[in-house]
Amino acid sequence: MIWTVIKREIKRMLTRPLYIFCMVLAPAFAYIFFTSLMSNGLPVDLPAGVVDEDNSTVTRQLIRNLDAFQQTKIVAQYHNFAEAREAMQQGKIYSIYYIPKGTTKLALASKQPTISFYTSASYIVPASLEYRDMKMMSELASGAIARSTLYAKGYTEDQAMAMLQPIKMEMHAINNPLINYSIYLSNTMLPGILMLLIFQLTIYSIYSELKEETSKEWLALTGNNIYKALIGKLLPQLVIWILMGLFCLVWLYGYWGFPLHSGFLPMFGLMVLFIIVSQAFGVFLCGAVPSLRWALSLATLWGVLSFPICGFSFPQMAFPAALRGLSYLFPLRYYYLIYVDQALNGLPFEYSWLYYVCLAAFLALPFLVIGRLKKFLLEYHYQI
């Protein structure tokens, strides 16, 4: 009986372009597009503007040094701040480095001149990267001037450096020494996109039976056994989703060479579990919200909220208490935690087993609404 439903579902999938688009073309495009977009790891040569009212040898060298940073590119120098602000408002630059007149004179006289830098909050990533470069350049310039002053007073290089930097610090980025943003973002964002597509297609494939008034025929093939009917419908989709999940992993860890300290099989097992959980969540939404548009809207909302709330773009520990608790209701949160433990850090399984259990717990959700879903499929009449 299940085999009859499977053959029926395969025929539906092959005769409807929507299935091919959502299950193959859309995920493949997302994989290629987002990884290619961040192929350099970090954005480079972000446009910045300079207002140099001092125009001295020191400030010109300062501007050249700032332009040498990988993320920042000085594209224009403006005569006054008003011109630079107008260029920022037009989107021509993301930041302004403002050096007032008399900066060099005050610095050499040890009178602490003020250098200002402005960034546009409309562009969070480029603005934050350029802010970091400008801040670092200002600190380096301050240290260079202080060192020159100490040399003039007769201090040796060792004595001057001991006063400027009493404690020497070194930073070593573990498991991602290149600070490649794509390693953090792509490994969670791409499975998240796959999850969102699974939510929507699972809901559509079930509710399309109601729309076409074939739900009773579908259930009759299994003797009105809702469990067999759902298995027969979702199993062919599961095979395609697993292949696309496998393509995602091969693309990330094989082609792009992202860190994979746990080995391929644990991440593949995680991907399979994540896909099944996503289908189960889609079935749960079908039973919980007996309306196609409301179920799709809720699935979209839940999927989109998964990206910021799972913690890969902003640390979960910095969330308000209510949001920290809410984050554990999203399957993507556990996928992210397991990925960090296993693939990125290479920790033993015992460090992540609880996350696997919590992720697998979502498989129980359909059982809470299965009776309601069966009644809905047998009695509801679709209305346009």
Q: Residue 33 is which amino acid?
A: F
- Assess whether pLDDT exceeds 80 at residue 148: no
pLDDT in tens, 59-101: 888 888 888 887 888 998 998 888 998 998 888 898 898 988 8
Domain of residue 282: give its range.
2-39+180-379
Q: Which residue has the higher pLDDT, 136 or 171?
A: 136
CB 355 within 8 A of CB 337: yes
152 in the same domain as 35: no
pLDDT at 333: 93
The C-alpha atoms of residue 78 and residue 98 are separated, in whole angstroms, by: 10
CB 331 within 8 A of CB 274: yes
CB 366 within 8 A of CB 280: yes
313 within a domain of the structure (yes/no): yes
Domain end: 137, 164, 191, which one? 164
What are the structure tokens assigned to 169, written together? 């610090």
384 within a domain of the structure (yes/no): no
pLDDT in tens, 119-142: 887 776 777 788 888 888 777 767
286 in the same domain as 206: yes
pLDDT in tens, 340-363: 999 988 888 889 999 999 999 999
365 in the same domain as 287: yes
What are the structure tokens assigned to 216, written together? 């009773």
Comparing CA positions, the residue from 293, 296, 326 lying closest to residue 308 is 326
Domain end: 164, 195, 224, which one? 164
Lookup result for tokens 């809702």? 226
In which element (H, E) is residue 96 found? strand 95-99
267 within a domain of the structure (yes/no): yes
- Assess whether pLDDT exceeds 50 at residue 384: no
- Tell me which DSSP letter residue 54 carries: S
110 in the same domain as 203: no
pLDDT at 382: 60
Query: What CA–CA distances, in Å, run from 28 to 17, 34, 35, 52, 181?
Result: 15, 10, 11, 48, 21
Comparing CA positions, the residue from 61, 74, 53, 55 lying closest to residue 144 is 61
The C-alpha atoms of residue 196 and residue 298 are separated, in whole angstroms, by: 11
360 in the same domain as 245: yes
194 in the same domain as 304: yes
189 within a domain of the structure (yes/no): yes
Lookup result for tokens 């062919």? 236
The C-alpha atoms of residue 233 and residue 186 are separated, in whole angstroms, by: 30
33 in the same domain as 55: no
pLDDT at 361: 96
57 in the same domain as 34: no
Give the range among 4-8, 133-137, 370-374 with minimum mean pLDDT: 133-137
pLDDT in tens, 232-258: 999 999 999 999 999 999 999 999 888
pLDDT at 324: 83
For the chain, how many structural domains are there in total?
2
333 in the same domain as 226: yes
Comparing CA positions, the residue from 75, 114, 351, 303 lying closest to residue 191 is 303
What are the structure tokens assigned to 273, written together? 């579990």
pLDDT at 243: 97
370 in the same domain as 229: yes
CATH number of the domain that residue 89 is part of? 3.40.1710.10
Mean confidence (pLDDT) of the chain: 86
**Beta pairing, strands 95-99 & 72-77:** unpaired
Domain end: 164, 193, 221, which one? 164
- Assess whether pLDDT exceeds 70 at residue 41: no
pLDDT at 237: 96
Torsion of CA 243, 246, 252, 256, to 10 degrees: -80
CB 16 within 8 A of CB 190: no
143 in the same domain as 197: no
CB 113 within 8 A of CB 51: no
pLDDT at 318: 78
173 within a domain of the structure (yes/no): no
172 within a domain of the structure (yes/no): no
pLDDT at 184: 78
Task: Give me the mean pLDDT over the 99-126 stretch.
Answer: 79
175 falls in which pLDDT band (50, 70, 90)? low
Helix (H, G, I), strand (E, B) or coil at 72: strand
pLDDT at 89: 87
Task: Give me the mean pLDDT over the 31-39 stretch.
Answer: 83
CB 66 within 8 A of CB 88: no
- Assess whether pLDDT exceeds 70 at residue 265: yes
Percent of the chain with pLDDT over 70: 90
Helix (H, G, I), strand (E, B) or coil at 343: helix
199 falls in which pLDDT band (50, 70, 90)? very high
pLDDT in tens, 300-344: 999 988 888 888 777 778 788 888 888 889 999 999 999 999 998
333 in the same domain as 198: yes
pLDDT at 45: 82
Lookup result for tokens 């009493």? 166
What are the structure tokens assigned to 173, written together? 């980025």
